[in-house]
Amino acid sequence: MTKEATVSRTYAAYVLGLLTLVNLLNYLDRNVVYAVFEPIKRDLHLSDAQLGWLGSAYIVVLSLAALPLGVIGDLRSRRSVITWGVAVWSAATAAGGLVRRFWQLFSCRALVGFGEAGYGPASQAIIAQYYKGKRRAFAIGVYSVGMALGGVLGIWFGGVIAEGYGWRRAFIWMGVPGLLLAALASRLSEIDRKPPPPVADTLRQWWRHGMHGVTHYVMPLAICAGAGALLAGILAMFEGIPSQFDTAVFSVGVSAGVAWTVWRLVPLALRRTTEAGAVAAGALDDFQHAAALVLRTPTLIWIFLGGAMVTFAVNGLIAWAATFMQRVHGLSVARVGAEFGMWGLAGGVTGALFGGRLADRLQQHWRGGRVLASGTGFVLGAPVCAALVLVDDLRWFGPLVLATYFLYTWYNGPLAAVILDVVPAAVQASVLGAFVLFSHLAGDALAPPLIGYLSDQTGNLRTAMLLLPAVGLLGGLVILIALKTVSRDMERVAL
């Protein structure tokens, strides 16, 4: 083996390791807010519905910004998208420890979503440059470990830090390390692209040109969020106006700012060069074609509707689990993580592996195998999840956590595989992107605030959380309807 090949493999391993570490931090910063719902509720005097919106803020923004930032990463520099994304979400996470009002923390969580929006596609594209053929699937699998570990550790570590030093320190300590990783990410080399310039030159370019560009594209969000904050602050001065009303006013301002920002970002990607513009225009044409294809393909309709329901169930459980354990069972988040974190992690990892393996085995003998595996996990998991919510004896809680996460993660691989089975290769990425967008906005973005609202109305978080297994069961059954259509849709693609 030549020295050049050795260096290349060594550097590829470094790239994979760094991006996996950043992905772990990504999910740490996403989930830390769930660990500190209770102290935030006390200190900022929030309702459960407001807590839910804090959990959904980043999901909504991430969903809206993912497409334009992904296009920009393809046309400009994936390294830059990653660098700026990590820096923005890390700074926003740390800033969450300095807030005094709901709308300030909501803004920080929304910016976390904006920073994370371009990271996933850009990082996986860079990994694909370094790992080709059979090595690529393994590399993406390693990268995905960051998601599983970060999702659990974000709540666990956040609870430990909050218990020892307060919830504000949890945000600050989780956010600061990302700024170092952003600096390392700025030095990554992209194959078939220009090597990164010296650090000093990069900083000078950012100062001369980057600040103007960032100001231009962030200003709409700042203006609208500022206007919403001003109106919310004025309304807060009047005692007769409910706090939810000024929260809604600020949320409208932030939403308008996000929409305005995204509106500016899309033309940026489209007007770079004639060639790049043609590529981007073709990508958007494909995306529109993909949307039309979904409506013409019965299997996709059932998968999209059922997929939104099951992601509602999964994300609602993740968002409220730590708070549920504190209120109902009197356990600290740190103790919850120590006693039950490994149960959830083990169930999630083994469930994802088992579900994918089961689906592939069934698919070898029957075209509905992957549909069956995708929906059955939630049908079987619904009573287990309901038992998890209702059980009072904590001796059963660990096994129920493992079983719930095991069954609720069967769908991870098979559901995406079903989509790929019934659409032409030319628009597979676009249809998957449309599914992610739809499932986020119609599914998991709604779960935290809706469960919070029901908790406020009933005065009982346990009662509100029973909606989750019910919606998960309905979603699993809707997915299983695709058993009637998947064979015919697969044949149509094969023609």
| pLDDT digit string, tens, across residues 32-80 | 888 888 889 889 888 888 888 888 888 877 777 766 665 555 555 678 7
Let me know if residue 221 belongs to a domain: no
Q: Distance between CA 475 and CA 313 in Å, rounded?
A: 9
Question: How many structural domains is the chain composed of?
Answer: 2
Final residue before a domain boundary, out of 197, 218, 235: 197
| Contact between 56 and 445 (Cβ < 8 Å) | yes
Let me know if residue 242 belongs to a domain: no
Work out the burial of residue 495: count CB atoms within 10 Å of its CB; fewer than 13 is exposed, 13-18 middle, 19 or more buried: exposed
Report how far Cα 418 is from the mean position of its chain's Cα atoms: 21
Q: How many CB atoms lie within 10 A of CB 396?
A: 12
Please determine, for residue 227, whether its predicted confidence score (pLDDT) is greater than 80: no
Please determine, for residue 273, whether its predicted confidence score (pLDDT) is greater than 50: no
Amino acid at the residue 483:
L
Q: What is the pLDDT of residue 7?
A: 45
Of 41, 95, 88, nearest to 65 by C-alpha is 88
Split at pLDDT 50, 70, 90, the class of 153 is confident
Interval 423-471: pLDDT, tens: 776 555 556 667 777 787 778 888 888 899 899 888 899 999 999 999 9
Q: What is the pTM of this model?
A: 0.71
Q: Distance between CA 199 and CA 191 in Å, rounded?
A: 19
Angle between helices 412-421 and 333-365 (to 10 degrees): 40
Q: Distance between CA 204 and CA 330 in Å, rounded?
A: 53
Amino acid at the residue 492:
R
What the block records as the tokens of 179 is 């700024």
H or E element in which residue 287 lies: helix 274-296
Q: What is the pLDDT of residue 270?
A: 43
Final residue before a domain boundary, out of 146, 168, 197: 197
Let me know if residue 401 belongs to a domain: yes
Helix (H, G, I), strand (E, B) or coil at 104: helix
Interval 346-379: pLDDT, tens: 887 788 778 877 877 887 888 788 889 889 999 9
Q: Distance between CA 144 and CA 162 in Å, rounded?
A: 27
Q: What is the pLDDT of residue 386?
A: 94
Q: Of 146-160, 199-213, 407-421, where does mean pLDDT reach its minimum?
A: 199-213
**Residue 328 and residue 469 in one domain:** yes
Amino acid at the residue 397:
F
Work out the burial of residue 282: count CB atoms within 10 Å of its CB; fewer than 13 is exposed, 13-18 middle, 19 or more buried: exposed
Q: What is the pLDDT of residue 383?
A: 95
| Over residues 390-409, mean pLDDT | 88
Q: Which CATH number do you get for residue 124?
A: 1.20.1250.20
Of 31, 48, 45, 33, nearest to 450 by C-alpha is 48
**Residue 187 and residue 293 in one domain:** no
**Residue 36 and residue 162 in one domain:** yes
Q: What is the pLDDT of residue 282?
A: 46
Report how far Cα 293 is from the mean position of its chain's Cα atoms: 25
**Residue 177 and residue 291 in one domain:** no
Q: What is the pLDDT of residue 368?
A: 83
Q: Which domain holds residue 126?
A: 1-197
Helix (H, G, I), strand (E, B) or coil at 47: coil
Of 63, 68, 65, nearest to 270 by C-alpha is 68
Q: Distance between CA 18 and CA 217 in Å, rounded?
A: 28
Q: How far is CA 223 from CA 213, 218, 343, 432, in A?
A: 16, 9, 45, 33
Q: What is the pLDDT of residue 274?
A: 37
Final residue before a domain boundary, out of 142, 167, 197: 197
Let me know if residue 265 belongs to a domain: no
**Residue 72 and residue 165 in one domain:** yes
Please determine, for residue 327, whether its predicted confidence score (pLDDT) is greater than 60: yes
Q: How many CB atoms lie within 10 A of CB 347?
A: 22
Interval 90-100: pLDDT, tens: 899 999 988 88
**DSSP codes of every residue in 416-429:** HHHHHHTS-GGGHH
**Residue 6 and residue 153 in one domain:** yes
Let me know if residue 86 belongs to a domain: yes
Let me know if residue 132 belongs to a domain: yes
Let me know if residue 389 belongs to a domain: yes
Please determine, for residue 170, whether its predicted confidence score (pLDDT) is greater than 80: yes
**DSSP codes of every residue in 349-404:** HHHHHHHHHHHHHHHHH-TTHHHHHHHHHHHHHHHHHHHHHH---TTTHHHHHHHH
Please determine, for residue 269, whether its predicted confidence score (pLDDT) is greater than 60: no
**Residue 189 and residue 325 in one domain:** no
Interval 174-197: pLDDT, tens: 888 888 888 888 888 776 555 545
Q: Distance between CA 424 and CA 107 in Å, rounded?
A: 40
Mean pLDDT score across all residues of the chain:
76
Report how far Cα 220 is from the mean position of its chain's Cα atoms: 24
**Residue 332 and residue 440 in one domain:** yes
**DSSP codes of every residue in 152-213:** HHHHHHHHHHHHHH-HHHHHHHHHHHHHHHHHHHTTPPPTTSPPPPPHHHHHHHIIIIIHHH
- Looking at per-residue pLDDT, the higher value among 108 and 264 belongs to 108
**Residue 38 and residue 146 in one domain:** yes
**Residue 493 and residue 383 in one domain:** yes
**Residue 332 and residue 474 in one domain:** yes
Q: What is the pLDDT of residue 310?
A: 92
Let me know if residue 188 belongs to a domain: yes
